[in-house]
Amino acid sequence: MDSLDETILKYALQNAIGYNGRANPGSVTGRVLGERPDAKADVKGLNQAVMRIVKEVNALSLDQQKEKLATIAPELLVKEKKEREFKLPDLPDVKGNVVMRFAPNPSGPLHIGHSRVVMLTDEYVKRYGGRFINRFEDTDPARVDPEAYDIIPKTSNGSVPRSPRRTSSPTGWRSTTTWRRSCSRTGMRTCATATWRAGAS
């Protein structure tokens, strides 16, 4: 067996072992060319050799394939698994506790993007200690849905942690207070949008 056939054989065996005893000619050819770029000079001859050797390898049992590969290229028999570590990076220049803020616009229920921010923010609070503040960004009365002040905590499904402190912007607080006054006669749940927007402007 010449050196090219040996290269094909070891990669055919490795590929077969990784896929229940069935080597794929295309995958084997790619690995061979990676090690032997000179084989591109005779692609037709390479493909014929790969097909021939893959057929021979696939005729072996899985145990026979492993035994053969252990003899000719044992370094290919053990596939190292690299464990990926997922963790939040440290916050720069942090000394002591942190104050983290979640600032949704009260225009409706939370969406998946909000949940991601909430969970990441809470993880930093757990790591460093401190406070988690839920601050409504309600500076634009035209975008405020009054019911969102109650909907957001309810629809968070526990995403907003540990009963965080709730605040609103000064402008938003004045607008909301004006709206409450303008709707006090009919009730918050039945007040028309036009009414509270007019009262909040």
- 85 vs 36, which has greater pLDDT? 36
Model confidence, pTM: 0.42
- The 10s digit of each residue's pLDDT in 149-170 is 888 776 654 444 444 455 555 4
The two most distant CA atoms of the chain are separated, in Å, by 96
Identify whether 155 is part of a domain: yes
The answer to the question of residue 97 being in a domain is no
Instruction: Tell me the pairing of strands 165-168 and 98-102.
Output: unpaired
Q: Which of 54-58, 91-95, 172-176 has the highest mean pLDDT?
A: 54-58
Tens digits of residue pLDDT in 102-126: 888 888 888 888 878 888 888 888 8
| Residue 88 covered by a domain | no
Q: What's the mean pLDDT in 51-68?
A: 95
Claim to verify: residue 56 and residue 116 sit in the same structural domain = no
Count of the separate structural domains present in the chain: 2
Q: Is the pLDDT higher at 128 or at 166?
A: 128
